Structure 1
Amino acid sequence: MKIVVIGCTHAGTAAIVNCAKLYPDAQITVYERNDTISFLSCGIALYVGGVVKDPKGLFYSSPEKLAELGVTTKMSHDVISVDIDKKKLEVHNLKTSEDFEDTFDKLIVTTGSWPILPKIDGSNLENILISKNYYHSNAIIEKSQKANNIVVIGAGYIGVELVEAFQMNGKNVTLIDSQDRILSKYLDKEFTDKAEKALAEHSIKLALGETVTRFEGVDEKVSKVVTNKGEYEADLVILSIGFKPSTELFKGQLEMLGNGAIIVDEYMQTSKEDVYAAGDSCSVMYNPIGKQEYIPLATNAVRMGTLVARNLVKPTIEYMGTQGTSGIKIYDYNIASTGLTESSAKTYKIDIKTVMVEDNYRPEFMPTYDLAQLKVVYEKKSKRILGAQIISKADLTQSINTMSVCIQSRMTIDELAFVDFFFQPHYNKPWNLLNLAGLSAE
């Protein structure tokens, strides 16, 4: 069996390693256009902020490690065309400029995603960077050392983590987003208000509800970001507006969502036999609404890549879907969410109710205790849990992993009230916060 894998980050690495173990007689070839693999891009802000000193720790595999498994890894090789029906592809060697053809019995598409780059006047000026791979992180560190005024455009996870890292390095930082709240895809206003206050208290300027209209420069280098509402000095600009799937090779050959995300079934198979996809290049089953969505997360990618290997020869294990569970630390606050927020439920036109619990996470007789805020979103008619969010200075984020399981299991808010959770004064109260949410619901 001849297996070809295109792309080698989270999903690709998971698929390759598992294929090598499950099918020791298979011929596995990996094509990767970069000269590094398996970079944990979620660690870029930690690297920029100096929390991670050695970037080598952000790589969890290498061509040498894959070679030990019998895998042939072709670095700096760009797949320029794929003919799925004829099971062949054309490859360009970026170092030698050689073009050649290869064939496959099974094709695994793990081409990932790429930052969205809007067409803005002045985008070609120097010191306007993106944040995705290892080379971007090095460029950001190098440029930021000489910059005083840094503007980050996009207030998602990457943008928020970067502004904190820059501020901790003593920079003047501005965060711009066209939405009127940071992290609006993941959290409701009660939570983003606290996060925004924490950023503002650390002198980070928030320019929310503003759209960038142009960049201005001096001597070909960016010097100013202009929005529809203001102007901001900038020696360095980081674009972190979002991501889109890198699937141009397969347009017209595989079924996709409107944004180009490849649609896969519960066994990770695409619309064509013997072609599988995983990670940021494809859609996922989003359990709260029971539909395919585009949710690029490393956790989704490693699960899906592993399932590709398990299902490559015959359907074996179904994908359980995702709740889009994620977390972030903003200064002293530990924040996590899963499933639908109240605001996202409204965009899906789902009739929901919410319950909010605010309580100290452990008994007041303990030497210290922190206030925690938990919100649960549930369907009004069925009472099925659809989402949850938590914020606290104590790290209670694992409770959102529990809520993810509740959503996946289609648990109701009434059932949550009486789930068996342990009590120990070091960690919680006799009624766990999750129990309290169930008890407090109407």
Structure 2
Amino acid sequence: MDQKKVIVIGCTHAGTAFITTAKRLYKDNVKIITYERNDTVSFLSCGIALHVGGVVKDPMKLFYSSPKVLSDLGAEMKMRHEVIDVDLEQKYVRVKNLETGEIFEDNYDTLVVTSGSWPIIPRVPGNDLRGILLSKNFYHAQDIVRYSKDAKTIVIVGAGYIGVELAEAFRKNGKDVVLIDIADRVLAKYLDKEFTDVLEQELTKEGIKLVLNEKVERFEGENGRVKKVITNKSEIQADLVILATGFRPNTELFNGKLKTLENGALIVDEYLRTSNPDVFAAGDCAAVWYTPTESYEYIPLATNAVRMGTLIAYNLFKNRLKYKGTQGTSGVKVFSYNVATSGLNELLAREKGIQYEVIYAIENNRPEFMPDYEPVHVKILYRKDDKRIIGGQVMSKADVTESANTLSLAIANKMTIYDLAFADFFFQPYFNKPWNFLNTVALKAIERDSLV
């Protein structure tokens, strides 16, 4: 096997997974040079709210690797280096050393693009005021902790996972918290109304002010520091603002050079090659094959990134393992509620024009003869024509979130509502009932629709 020279652009989750796997598989048969514009790798940004809330005291524990660890494996880690241009025909990159300003070129046999994503910043007046922060990397986490110490009122723009988690963390720290979103519900992209109604009551009960169905039009400040958030309907005082309005892929280098989605996410084939066979892509910079709709979508999740980065390593020399796609399975804790989802919700199903049926029910997680048990909210979406499951949501004060992984497998393997109704799950009174709540809800769909 001839040695292959690989250049990796960016190194968070997908890049780290690729390097560790490739070096384990091929050792000296692959020369890896990584260009990363930060001085850290592998930061778990999903842990920022845990750090802010004091659950994770030491933010350094949110790193699961380091430049030294990857260097010890044999990769050349060029930290604080930014790739500023790529020539796909001549197969070289142009790189800037951010410490010295030096610009140089480096050639490759294979390019692995794991450049990640960046927060979307609302293009409104005042967005450059001090005290308006992002929530993405290690340095953002440090800024959030430092700025929030003296802040009384904190406004979070965006009621997705990050926004809701930060709202809870700040509230537990005794802050006045306002959560703003342009949608009329929190977590609207992830959950249906039966679930968000309950979670909004929980957030409100815990003292978080919800400002929904309002669009931020500008920020106002004094002496260069933010003091107000102005929406199309209201004015909100703010000592600190956190922007949590989503992410965009870092793919400007490849504009007009590789096939992308409309937002710039790189489209990859089943072996994770882009439209150029010598260029792979993985993680937040890439589109994923979304199995419920059988289409390419942008779903930036760390779970997708590590799987994709690992698969690139296996496919580096030849096509060995296919990427099967994702169901976008995810979860969140909102005060006392544990929530998880996989596949489509009703909003997304309608957007895709899918004809679907839905079953929603509340079941107890354990037998009623047990000293305690909790209601479980369950909702399952399935296609009208072939009854194939395309989505599911679960929520409870008990931790039943692993059932979303079961739903993920059901979607991936094209199981029907019949299959789920009679699927074999274990029973033990400490954990569940003779009929698992997923069985029970699916059975109700069969009974309701007279499917037998």
Question: Could you say which residue in structure 1 is the equivalent of 2:374?
Answer: 370
Q: Within 5 Å, which residues of 2 pair with 1:7-406?
A: 7-25=10-28, 26-406=30-410
Q: What CA RMSD, in Å, does the superposition of the two structures yield over aligned residues?
A: 0.6
Q: Deviations over 1:168-208 (max 9, x none)?
A: 00000000000001111110000011111111001100000
SS of the residue corresponding to residue 80 of structure 1 reads strand
Q: CA deviation at 1:67?
A: 1.4
Q: CA deviation at 1:389?
A: 0.2
Q: CA deviation at 1:414?
A: 1.0
Q: CA deviation at 1:4?
A: 0.5
Q: Deviations over 1:247-287 (max 9, x none)?
A: 00011111101000000000000000211000000100000
Q: CA deviation at 1:393?
A: 0.2
**Alignment partners' CA distance in 2, 1:102 and 1:23:** 22
Question: Could you say which residue in structure 2 is the equivalent of 1:417?
Answer: 421
**Alignment partners' CA distance in 2, 1:341 and 1:2:** 43
SS of the residue corresponding to residue 149 of structure 2 reads helix
**Alignment partners' CA distance in 2, 1:126 and 1:43:** 24
**Alignment partners' CA distance in 2, 1:67 and 1:81:** 24
Letter in 2 for 1:301: A
Q: CA deviation at 1:317?
A: 0.4
Q: CA deviation at 1:55?
A: 1.1
SS of the residue corresponding to residue 27 of structure 2 reads coil
Tell me whether 107-116 or 24-33 shows the greater mean CA deviation. 24-33
**Alignment partners' CA distance in 2, 1:106 and 1:383:** 43
- Structure 2, unaligned runs of 5 or more: none
Question: Could you say which residue in structure 1 is the equivalent of 2:8?
Answer: 5
CA contact (8 A) 1:213 1:228 kept: yes
TM-score (norm 1): 0.99
Q: CA deviation at 1:210?
A: 0.3
Letter in 1 for 2:56: V
- Structure 1, unaligned runs of 5 or more: none
CA contact (8 A) 1:357 1:433 kept: no
Q: Deviations over 1:79-137 (max 9, x none)?
A: 01000110101110000111111010010000000001121111121100111000000
Letter in 2 for 1:296: P
SS of the residue corresponding to residue 111 of structure 1 reads coil
CA contact (8 A) 1:284 1:295 kept: yes
SS of the residue corresponding to residue 361 of structure 2 reads strand
**Alignment partners' CA distance in 2, 1:260 and 1:339:** 23
**Alignment partners' CA distance in 2, 1:399 and 1:266:** 27
Question: Could you say which residue in structure 1 is the equivalent of 2:412?
Answer: 408
SS of the residue corresponding to residue 24 of structure 1 reads helix
Letter in 1 for 2:321: I
**Alignment partners' CA distance in 1, 2:235 and 2:197:** 24
Letter in 1 for 2:7: V
TM-score (norm 2): 0.97
**Alignment partners' CA distance in 2, 1:431 and 1:297:** 32
SS of the residue corresponding to residue 17 of structure 2 reads helix
Letter in 2 for 1:143: Y
Q: CA deviation at 1:220?
A: 1.1
**Alignment partners' CA distance in 2, 1:386 and 1:18:** 32
**Alignment partners' CA distance in 2, 1:123 and 1:333:** 33
**Alignment partners' CA distance in 2, 1:204 and 1:37:** 34
Matched pairs, number? 442
